[in-house]
């Protein structure tokens, strides 16, 4: 069978050599069935196999097809919300445990890359960039919170002059440098995890979409070509579950995100924009984010769609954003523009837990999934093996469904995002 190509992107064009995995045909029996071949599913499968479980992983398209192969590649300390907000929701003790889990998530990513020799251009260093004086004040509070509240000493506040050593853009008046965050090639990271999982003995099937589930005492997954019966089930499809589990689908909102790459700039010109080769995000609610690539392009993200529809003129609008940040790139050609879906939750914190005694899930990383998805896979594996304390820390985060149901939640979110866009302009 001719392999299904990945959606066109710079990531797909620069992917490491990778095998095409078989399609599920017939009936299988295993200890654990994992649905979803992104970071969550791959890490869960690998961790489970290392614990001795017989694991089958089903991917609807190709490994890394969804957000895991199309995201901005940024590894970010913490969560989408400040830790003070996390504390208000879960209390000081659980907030501390969640912080420690996030720190472990970054260490786990680095350890997997090293142990399995994953060629994914892993690079450490990240800057959160301020555009307004209120942003500068927020960064001061953020640094104080991380240092005093959590003992995190890997961040450094930057004034306008110090920013030039990291980011050379006229719009930024300050920033916060984090040596413990960074960036990588997201698709190659996913492909490397898949290689490691298969080498460990995971049975991995591509183009094997789950079309029906039984999440009862003996879970069953049906695909167009076969079935898998297991003792435990892990649901790791995130924004690409397509309503397969109604009890979970209302807890997340798929959001389309977009990015572009420029033509190759050459090493000198790329370094003139980002001398320290850091990943960067700005502090607007509707943010821009960018970094250099290994072949000396600028990768720039900043377009989003909360309505599920691609905007006309998306490529031009995204390019205008890029030139607004780096006016020196007005003469540079855009090579590729692509997008994909990530899943957000109402409170922007990950939704991880048990659906039934035999079925686990993890989704809704809200832009922080490169690291968090990996630790989600690990704590699910621990819970399958009988130790659920760390999974339960995530499960205690209070969540609510998006208001309005399937018909009204998207228009309501679009209106809310318009308000935040207006606030970004002030």
- Identify the pLDDT of residue 4: 67
pLDDT digit string, tens, across residues 112-152: 999 999 999 999 999 999 999 999 999 999 999 999 999 99
Across 55-66, b (16+ Cβ under 10 Å) vs e yields bbbbbbbbbbbb
What single string gives the DSSP state of each residue in 227-260?
EEEEEEEEE--GGGSTTSSHHHHTT-EEEEEEEE
- Whole-number average pLDDT of the chain: 93
Share of the chain above pLDDT 90, in %: 87
Residue 306 has pLDDT above 80, yes or no: no
Is residue 72 a contact partner of residue 289, using CB atoms and an 8 Å limit? yes
* CA-based nearest residue to 381, from 34, 64, 99, 6: 34
Q: Tell me: pLDDT of 202 over 50.
A: yes
What mean pLDDT do residues 175-204 have? 98
Mean of the pLDDT values across residues 390-395?
98
What does the angle CA 152 – CA 284 – CA 72 come to, to the nearest 5 degrees? 70
Q: Distance of CA 418 to CAs 343, 362, 399, Å?
A: 19, 29, 23
- pLDDT above 60 (res 180): yes
CA distance 3 to 340: 20
More confident position, 421 or 267: 267
- Segment 371-388 shows an average pLDDT of 98
Give the pLDDT of residue 211.
98
pLDDT at position 313: 80
Q: Residue 406 — very low, low, confident or very high, per pLDDT cuts 50/70/90?
A: low
Contacts for 287-291 with beta carbons within 8 Å, 24 or more apart? 288/321, 288/322, 288/325, 289/72, 289/74, 290/322, 290/325, 291/72, 291/73, 291/74, 291/183
pLDDT in tens, 43-71: 999 999 999 999 999 999 999 999 999 99
- Residue 170, pLDDT > 60, answer yes
Q: What is the CA radius of gyration of the chain?
A: 21
pLDDT band at 403 (very low <50, low <70, confident <90, very high): confident
Q: What is the pLDDT of residue 412?
A: 47
pLDDT, tens digit (0-9, with 9 covering 90-100), for 14-33? 999 999 999 999 999 999 99
- Domains defined for the chain, CATH in brackets: 20-70+187-249+347-410 (3.50.50.60), 123-180+254-344 (3.30.9.10)
Q: Is the pLDDT of residue 361 over 60?
A: yes
Sign of CA dihedral 244, 72, 74, 326: negative
pLDDT-above-70 percentage for the chain: 92
pLDDT of residue 416: 45
Contact yes or no for 56/44 (Cβ under 8 A):
no
**Using CA atoms, how far apart are residues 293 and 271, in angstroms rounded to an integer?**
11
pTM of the model: 0.94
pLDDT in tens, 307-335: 555 666 888 999 999 999 999 999 999 99
Q: Are strands 26-35 and 174-183 parallel, antiparallel or unpaired?
A: unpaired
Q: How far apart are CA 355 and CA 40, in angstroms?
A: 16
Interval 237-283: pLDDT, tens: 999 998 899 999 999 999 889 999 999 999 999 999 999 999 999 99
Where does the pLDDT of residue 415 fall: very low under 50, low under 70, confident under 90, or very high at 90 and above? very low
Asked whether the predicted pLDDT for residue 223 surpasses 90, the reply is: yes
Which of the 8 DSSP states describes residue 147? I
Confidence of residue 422 (pLDDT cuts 50, 70, 90): very low
The distance in angstroms from the start CA to the end CA of the chain is 55
162 vs 189: CA distance, rounded Å: 32
Residue 419 has pLDDT above 50, yes or no: no
Q: What's residue 194's pLDDT?
A: 98
């Amino acid at each position: 069978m001719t392999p299904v190509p990945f959606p066109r992107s710079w990531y797909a064009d620069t992917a490491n050599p990778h095998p095409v995995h078989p399609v599920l045909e017939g009936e299988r029996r295993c200890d654990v069935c994992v649905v979803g071949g992104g970071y969550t599913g791959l890490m869960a499968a690998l961790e489970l196999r290392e614990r001795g479980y017989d694991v089958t992983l089903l991917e609807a398209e190709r490994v890394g097809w969804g957000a895991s192969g199309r995201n901005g590649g940024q590894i970010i300390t913490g969560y989408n919300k400040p830790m003070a907000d996390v504390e208000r929701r879960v209390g000081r003790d659980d907030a501390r445990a969640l912080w420690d889990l996030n720190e472990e998530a970054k260490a786990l990513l680095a350890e997997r890359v090293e142990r399995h020799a994953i060629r994914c251009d892993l690079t450490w260093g990240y800057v959160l960039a301020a555009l307004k004086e209120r942003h500068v004040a927020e960064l001061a509070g953020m640094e104080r919170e991380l240092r005093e509240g959590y003992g995190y000493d890997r961040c450094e506040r930057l004034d306008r002059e110090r920013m030039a050593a990291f980011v050379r853009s006229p719009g930024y008046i300050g920033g916060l440098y984090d040596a413990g965050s960074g960036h990588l090639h997201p698709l190659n990271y996913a492909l490397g995890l898949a290689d490691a999982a298969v080498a460990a003995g995971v049975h991995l099937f591509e183009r094997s979409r789950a079309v029906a589930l039984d999440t009862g005492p003996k879970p069953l997954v049906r695909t167009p070509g076969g079935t898998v019966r297991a003792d435990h089930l892990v649901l790791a499809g995130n924004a690409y579950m397509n309503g397969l589990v109604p009890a979970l689908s209302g807890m997340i909102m798929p959001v389309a995100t977009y990015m572009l790459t420029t033509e190759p700039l050459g090493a000198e010109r790329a370094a003139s924009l980002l001398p320290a080769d850091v990943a960067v995000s700005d502090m607007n609610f509707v943010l821009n984010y960018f970094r250099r690539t290994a072949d000396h392009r600028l990768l720039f993200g900043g377009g989003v769609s909360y309505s599920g529809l691609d905007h006309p003129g998306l490529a031009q609008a995204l390019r205008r954003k890029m030139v607004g940040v780096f006016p020196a790139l007005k003469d540079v050609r855009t090579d590729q523009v692509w997008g994909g879906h990530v899943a957000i939750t109402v409170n922007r914190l990950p939704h991880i837990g048990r659906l039934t005694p035999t079925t686990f899930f993890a989704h809704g990383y809200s832009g922080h999934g490169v690291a968090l998805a990996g630790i989600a896979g690990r704590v699910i594996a621990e819970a399958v093996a009988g130790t659920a304390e760390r999974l339960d820390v995530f499960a205690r985060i209070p969540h609510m469904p998006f208001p309005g149901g399937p018909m009204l939640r998207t228009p309501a979110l679009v209106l809310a995002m318009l308000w935040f866009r207006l606030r970004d302009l002030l």
